[in-house]
Structure 1
């Protein structure tokens, strides 16, 4: 069977080859009637537009390299899905890389991107204990956008969520609900996300005339058993606590167990002394299948993906564009737990 060419489409639609080309590239001022005729001809003949060949002729790539270090990180997975969806809308495709380390694997990943002719790179950082980018990413010669869960102390195009704002929002909500003894559970002491949230937590307490208490802050690993033990010790030593800010979805699960171990229940009624309100920082489906459903501040993962995709396209089209820093605020979603 003869391969259908752009010439065949033009002949079928009764227009010039250049007009078909403009329609395919969505360029120029073409009437809607002409566009419709071209698409009807394409459909009838079964013409398939070779985007790669067209990009090669135009010396332009529609490939974006996307680096995802941690597939177990729910935030990064949601951001990745949003990036892919947004880029596809704009006619771009994603070339995914998952380097196992920040050394030779990352270097090999970037080399592979270069060999594939990607137009730009989006790096999803899963690092929460360092504000520095890997050397290879810092020196990436291609247009680059970094998406991070915490502040990156580098000059780069950056999309990040505002952890301080999220904790401030959560704490103010609990205070407005009548809580006067609030604790933060989970995360290791060197975790930058935790540090930024604690800054927002402290700020909200101070603005409300409440006292910061070190004994109401429990750091621990992300293991649910460790969080459960930390929660139990926290509540046993501070029986006036009526609300907990949970560092992660795993921390929420551990907190539930710890609350039950001391004979208390999860709930939002501050006047029932046995109830402890729980508030998290990211929506997780497997957590919200439980009862009660959990109040949380959204991680803005979908918007992070859209912003990253938009920024990388803009950087490709405007090489001289100065570095942009996009900080996204979360939204409070009130449910049954707080």
Structure 2
């Protein structure tokens, strides 16, 4: 099949070749009627715009590399969807990669981005125990934006969750509802998200003249069984506990099991001593089919994606922009469990 040229489109639409070029690049002040006429001509002739070739000629690119190491992370998946949606709205395309490690696989990923001529890179950090980015990412020569749930020490363009604020907000809410014995369930000892949330937990308790008791903050492996075991042990030895902050969906599910095992029930009424309030840190849609529905502090995943997309585009238009740090706070969503 013969390839339709831009000259033929211009002739069909009755406009100049430069006008067709401006319409394709969405540049210049072209009337809506002319734009419609050009698009009608392209459709009638079957013209397909070769974006890659156009970018090569103009020495520009509308391709953004997106690295998502962990697709099992619900926060990362939601952020990814938001990034793609926002970049597509700005007429950019996404080249998605999932390297299997932070060494050779990540290096090959970055090399493929360079070979494909991507304009910039967004990296969704997944290691919640690391204080620094992988070396390959730190040395990335392309404009870079990092999205993280826990990173705090790298001097890069960074969009991250405010875990301390989330835990402080959740704790204040529980205290204001009358809870005085609150525990934090889950997360491993070296989990930086857990560490940051415990700082927020402690600071909120201090505002009300209360102190953090380490015996009420058991760490555990990231599984429902591990969370259930530590929660049951905690409740059996501290029958005055009336509320649990749950580190993750697994911690929430495990805690529910343990609550029933010790003869108590999930619920928000602090005056009914058999009830234990549960509060999580993200919208667990796959869990909220149960009763009660869970109260949580949102992860701000959609806004995180929008901010990351906006920041990489700003970095492309302002190459000398100093490193930006955007910290996003979640919103408390009150439901039945607390």
- TM value normalised by structure 1: 0.97
Once the 2 structures are TM-superposed, how far is the Cα of residue 333 of structure 1 from its aligned partner?
Answer: 0.8
Once the 2 structures are TM-superposed, how far is the Cα of residue 132 of structure 1 from its aligned partner?
Answer: 0.6
After superposition, where does 1:147-226 map in structure 2 within 5 Å?
147-226=147-226
Once the 2 structures are TM-superposed, how far is the Cα of residue 152 of structure 1 from its aligned partner?
Answer: 2.9
* Residue 288 (structure 1) aligns with: 288
* Residue 333 (structure 2) aligns with: 333
Is 2:116 aligned against 1:88?
Answer: no
Q: Which runs of 5+ in 2 are unaligned?
A: none
Distance 1:52 1:268 in 2: 56
Distance 1:53 1:97 in 2: 22
- Aligned partner of residue 203 in structure 1, secondary structure: helix
Distance 2:89 2:209 in 1: 49
Distance 2:116 2:14 in 1: 37
- Aligned partner of residue 123 in structure 2, secondary structure: strand
Deviations 1:275-306 (A, max 9, x none): 00100001122111111110100111111111
Q: Please, what is the CA RMSD of the aligned residues?
A: 1.1
Deviations 1:58-88 (A, max 9, x none): 1111211111111111111111111111111
Distance 2:46 2:306 in 1: 32
* Residue 258 (structure 1) aligns with: 258
Distance 1:47 1:104 in 2: 41
* Residue 277 (structure 2) aligns with: 277
Question: Does the 8 Å contact 1:297/1:332 carry over to 2?
Answer: yes
Distance 1:335 1:125 in 2: 30
* Residue 75 (structure 2) aligns with: 75
Question: Does the 8 Å contact 1:120/1:316 carry over to 2?
Answer: yes
Once the 2 structures are TM-superposed, how far is the Cα of residue 196 of structure 1 from its aligned partner?
Answer: 0.5
- Aligned partner of residue 48 in structure 1, secondary structure: coil
Distance 2:109 2:4 in 1: 36
Q: Which runs of 5+ in 1 are unaligned?
A: none
Once the 2 structures are TM-superposed, how far is the Cα of residue 3 of structure 1 from its aligned partner?
Answer: 2.5
Deviations 1:121-171 (A, max 9, x none): 111100111111111100110000100001331110000000001001111
Once the 2 structures are TM-superposed, how far is the Cα of residue 2 of structure 1 from its aligned partner?
Answer: 3.2
Distance 2:337 2:102 in 1: 39
Distance 1:3 1:121 in 2: 33
* Residue 62 (structure 2) aligns with: 62
Deviations 1:251-289 (A, max 9, x none): 100000111110000011111100001000011221111
Once the 2 structures are TM-superposed, how far is the Cα of residue 41 of structure 1 from its aligned partner?
Answer: 2.0
* Residue 114 (structure 2) aligns with: 114
Question: Does the 8 Å contact 1:133/1:152 carry over to 2?
Answer: no
* Residue 42 (structure 1) aligns with: 42
- Aligned partner of residue 155 in structure 2, secondary structure: coil
Which stretch of structure 1 is more off in the superposition, 90-99 or 199-208?
90-99
Which stretch of structure 1 is more off in the superposition, 150-159 or 28-37?
28-37
- Aligned partner of residue 7 in structure 2, secondary structure: helix
* Residue 242 (structure 1) aligns with: 242
Deviations 1:300-328 (A, max 9, x none): 11111111111111111211111110100
Aligned residues: 338
Distance 1:294 1:271 in 2: 19
Distance 1:98 1:32 in 2: 41
* Residue 138 (structure 2) aligns with: 138
- Aligned partner of residue 146 in structure 1, secondary structure: strand
Question: Does the 8 Å contact 2:132/2:151 carry over to 1?
Answer: no
Is 2:6 aligned against 1:6?
Answer: yes
Once the 2 structures are TM-superposed, how far is the Cα of residue 23 of structure 1 from its aligned partner?
Answer: 1.1
